[in-house]
Amino acid sequence: MSWTAVARKDFQDARLSRSLWLLTGLFVLFAAGMAWIYTEIEALGGSDPELTALGLYDFLASSATLFVSIAALVLAYKAIAGERDSGSVKLLLGLPHSRLDVVFGKVVGRTATLAVSIVLGFVVALGVIVALYDAYSLVDYALFVGVTLLFALVYVSLMVGISASVATSGKAAALAFGTFVVVELLWGAVATAAVYVANGFALPATIADYPTWYFGIVSLSPSAAYQSALATVLDGASTTGEIVGGTAEAVYLEPWFGFVWLTLWLVVPLAIGAFRFSRADL
């Protein structure tokens, strides 16, 4: 047995849970509702002679980041810490699983659970697009869904890494919620504070005077990286997540570098969590 067995059991348990179907229902309402609302907002194109789906991706992405990140937090923060609380982790490790198998299996299982909700939601939203939009590309839509699934994997990995790092669900909840608040709600303030300190406790007069590394910090957050990644694969999207500023020589400000940031968020927290879990006294 290996991480695949852990992932399979984790997904099967979630499939029988009401929380999965509640999450799926909410995401279906969210995705379909946003696709319809976009048609009704005159400023975003609801009154255009030809309503296209390209602008919808920007409209959806800014809200999807919040929905997916919160869903990943709820689904994954107790993935391992909860097992340690209940003592079931000892039973799990009594089977031929290594601790690394448990960590990877939890990531795959919880990501698959969240992916079901996301895919079903976007399938229903596609029906709205086909019915109400004048122009759309199935390839672009598939790319949009694919990058969103990657973002979900990144966030689940981050939360499982946190769960693996601590001994109790309470600590996992506090650390997961704190991380969410910092990287999703306060990240811009963190970058501004860094500039304030580096500039002698004063802010530059205009945005053009901000150092290039400031824009790099802003683009580092998972949500900004996700929107930069979307800008790379969706040619012509306006991408609200694109960073304005810096210099042409700063490679980390290129939209494709969003995939690099997402990879770091995927690997680093999970590696730290797996390392701590491997040495934890259970």
Q: Region 238-266: what's the mean pLDDT?
A: 74
Q: Which residue has the higher pLDDT, 238 or 177?
A: 177
Residue 241 pLDDT greater than 50, yes or no: no
Instruction: For residue 81, give every residue at least 6 positions away whose Cβ sits within 8 Å of its Cβ, in sequence order, or none.
Output: 163, 164, 166, 167, 168, 169, 171, 172
Rounded to two decimals, what is the model's pTM?
A: 0.90
| Spatial distance between the Cα atoms of 111 and 10, rounded to a whole number of angstroms | 10
Instruction: For residue 258, give every residue at least 6 positions away whose Cβ sits within 8 Å of its Cβ, in sequence order, or none.
Output: 219, 224, 225, 226, 227, 228, 229, 230, 231, 232, 241
Q: Is 246 left (phi over 0), alpha (psi -120 to 50) or beta?
A: left
Helix (H) / strand (E) containing 179: helix 169-180
| Model confidence band, residue 46 (pLDDT cutoffs 50, 70, 90) | very low
For the chain, percent of residues with pLDDT exceeding 90? 45
Answer whether 255's CB lies under 8 Å from 237's CB. Answer: no
pLDDT for the residue 244? 47
Both tokens of 68, joined, read 């997916």
Both tokens of 269, joined, read 């927290």
pLDDT for the residue 43? 46
pLDDT for the residue 110? 93
- Residue 190: CB atoms within 10 Å: 14
DSSP state of 207: G
